[in-house]
Structure 1
């Protein structure tokens, strides 16, 4: 029998399934409560963003994408990168305030505060999957053929789970003691958006720096997602396994830091 506060219980919170479901449902409902369009904003916001970005990068900066067949195809490739990065940025930017926003729960000795990172991730993943479904529907409408490689997208996205959980535990624990962390992360995420292959493919970079680009864990996920959707290519499992292993190690590290620092949360909050 594993102790309730073991690292394995952080990674596999099967005992907290009911609690997770309740908190995720509450967070998703709170996002749209009082909104006239409700869940429609999940589709309207990315469509507006992609329209603006396509205009700026396609017509102002005169960028072109190898293999792109027009402005709509160019915009869809941008959208594919934005869906992945949007999931990442939402979880990371929210992480420092996860504990601070729940002082009543933190002061309850028996409440498993580690599940707050799971709640944030699942709620953000719900939005990302809706956006991904929209992308795939538009692709089909534009004549992009349905490829068997689309079935590999859950596998391609799988490293995001330990990556975002590890960052969630790490940043939420440190954010309790370092209140400026949220401001620093806002700048870092904005910079990372342009260092990630969201608005360009890795092949557009000089050859001498392409290897360094893959040090960014989002780079491989974005590139493999695009390759699967637009070229029907299955992911290269070698780099995927390396990334998956690194993300699992990050999750274990983040859980370890959270477990060590959580004893002081109630005193600081």
Structure 2
């Protein structure tokens, strides 16, 4: 594994150099997903809007759910939606990573094509959907009278999660070229991770014996940080900084592993 590939500037400069091509691939992916639909790309906005409406009806009127230890304040469905926005960006990226390279054999076999940007495409697509989810969240916060200025920090707080998702995407994409079972294994693991991360509950509700796992889970740290920002509470910047450092290292390792493996992609495909 090349130590040059572990340099953080090298990791992102290689991707930034091909930003136009990357943007075109992301645009193509988004448009293909909604091609033929009656409402077309409007579903990017309609899907989160409908999902939030269902959450508000089911958890607000039928179950009348409340956050553990919560006596007032923001509705449960908004807290839940906040966690899901962050997790879904991660989940969509990682779940699509196994086929991000295998799905483009003609690109891989072109010597001059920058293959390393293919696993970045799912990250960009997930960010497009996440952006519209965030706009819907801001509208819901304003409509319900729960908007706090700290909520605007939401995109910044997602940075560790994006780095982690990108690193795992590079790693899984490389394995996906050789092991087709990754398309089945990864989504299953992602679904399990959703329930062991503080998406449907706060980390404070976790039993003390399991608390260390949640304290050192960068995904959980990001979800808790975004939820704190949305509710106007203080953010644990120290925990967020530790998560940022860990995720940066994971991103560089994923990139280095991908670059180390890419020479054999064409033969495997």
Q: Measure, in 2, the Cα distance between the counterparts of 1:34 and 1:268.
A: 33
Does residue 67 of structure 1 match 2:76? Answer: no
Query: How many Å apart are 1:64 and its aligned residue?
Result: 2.3
Q: Measure, in 2, the Cα distance between the counterparts of 1:50 and 1:193.
A: 18
Does residue 190 of structure 1 match 2:167? Answer: no
Q: Measure, in 2, the Cα distance between the counterparts of 1:33 and 1:109.
A: 30
Query: How many Å apart are 1:38 and its aligned residue?
Result: 2.3
Aligned Cα RMSD in Å? 2.4
Does residue 159 of structure 1 match 2:160? Answer: yes
Query: How many Å apart are 1:204 and its aligned residue?
Result: 1.6
Query: How many Å apart are 1:59 and its aligned residue?
Result: 7.3
Q: Partner of 2:70: helix, strand, or coil?
A: coil
What residue is the counterpart of 2:213 in the other structure? 212
- 21-30 or 170-179, larger mean C-alpha shift: 21-30
Query: How many Å apart are 1:48 and its aligned residue?
Result: 4.2
1:27-56 per-position Cα deviation (integer Å, ceiling 9, x unaligned): 122122211122332343334445555666
Q: Is the 8 A contact 1:152 1:234 kept in 2?
A: no
Q: Measure, in 2, the Cα distance between the counterparts of 1:61 and 1:192.
A: 24
Q: Is the 8 A contact 1:82 1:198 kept in 2?
A: yes
Q: TM-score of the superposition, structure 2-length normalised?
A: 0.88
- 40-49 or 12-21, larger mean C-alpha shift: 40-49
Query: How many Å apart are 1:223 and its aligned residue?
Result: 0.9
Does residue 171 of structure 1 match 2:167? Answer: no
Map 1:1-269 to 2 at 5 A: 8-12=9-13, 13-50=15-52, 63-65=65-67, 66-67=69-70, 69=72, 73-147=75-149, 149-230=150-231, 232-269=232-269
1:96-139 per-position Cα deviation (integer Å, ceiling 9, x unaligned): 00111101100001111111122221121011011011001111
Query: How many Å apart are 1:201 and its aligned residue?
Result: 1.0
1:191-210 per-position Cα deviation (integer Å, ceiling 9, x unaligned): 11111111111122223322
Unaligned runs of 5+ in 1: none
Size of the aligned set, in residue pairs, is 263
Q: Measure, in 2, the Cα distance between the counterparts of 1:233 and 1:82.
A: 19
